[in-house]
Amino acid sequence: MDKDVAVLKRFAEYAFESLERTCQNLTEEEAEWRPVEEANNTRWILNHISRITNTALPRALKKDSDYTPPGWPESYREETYSVEELFRDINGARATVDEAFEVISSQDLAEEIPGRRGARKRELALFTYIGEIISHKGQIAAIRGNIKRRREKDPAFLA
């Protein structure tokens, strides 16, 4: 693996590891809580991350705009999955992403690939999708921080 790809792969590994640390011991009750009615809850954010990691990120890596994992439901976005199921799917995507990084090169990173907003360099797409994991992990961290602070005042909150 060349240096450019190795850096991107490590960035992806960091994103997955950081998400896992942020969600450690996340309960179903915490996953449902939202600080205001208009906000997304952690379960929705994890569903979104799962869709990014299972479809968008592998599509960019594989240069296959139709890629979906075997058995991937078209209705994934609308379904409610447990935290355990969401992480099972995210970890499955992680394995797919790791494998896909093994077969690309710096030359591949410079290729134009199709996207929802038109063609762009594969490298940019990869940075964008990996950055999405980190950005949404930050949203989860903020929600979990709110829960922690609420519990400091009210130990029975979401207990």
Query: Structural domain tally of the chain?
Result: 1
Residue 159 lies in a domain: no
For the purposes of burial, counting CB atoms within 10 Å of the CB of 90, is it exposed (0-12), middle (13-18) or buried (19 or more)?
Answer: buried
Q: Could you tell me which residues come within 8 angstroms of residue 145 by beta carbon, excluding any fewer than 6 positions away?
A: none
3-state secondary structure the chain: CCHHHHHHHHHHHHHHHHHHHHCCCCCHHHHHCCCCCCCCCHHHHHHHHHHHHHHHHHHHHHCCCCCCCCCCCCCHHHCCCCHHHHHHHHHHHHHHHHHHHCCCCHHHHCCEECCCCCCEEHHHHHHHHHHHHHHHHHHHHHHHHHHHHHHHHCCCCCC
Q: β-strand 120-121 against 112-113: which pairing, if any?
A: antiparallel
Residue 40 lies in a domain: yes
Residue 77 lies in a domain: yes
pLDDT of residue 91: 97
Domain boundaries, position 27: 3-153
Cα 11 to Cα 128: distance, rounded to the nearest angstrom? 11
Supply the CATH number for residue 81's domain. 1.20.120.450
Considering only CA atoms, give the Rg of the chain: 17
Q: Could you tell me which residues come within 8 angstroms of residue 118 by beta carbon, excluding any fewer than 6 positions away?
A: none
pLDDT of residue 1: 83
Residue 147 lies in a domain: yes
Residue 158 lies in a domain: no
Residue 136 lies in a domain: yes
Cα 30 to Cα 36: distance, rounded to the nearest angstrom? 14
Residue 119 lies in a domain: yes
pLDDT of residue 106: 93
pLDDT of residue 142: 97
Read off the tokens for 118.
């038109």
Residue 64 lies in a domain: yes
Written as tens digits, the pLDDT of the chain (159 aa) is 899 999 999 999 999 999 999 999 999 999 999 999 999 999 999 999 999 999 999 999 998 889 999 999 999 999 999 999 999 999 999 999 999 999 999 999 999 998 777 889 999 999 999 999 999 999 999 999 999 999 999 999 998
Q: What is the reported pTM?
A: 0.95
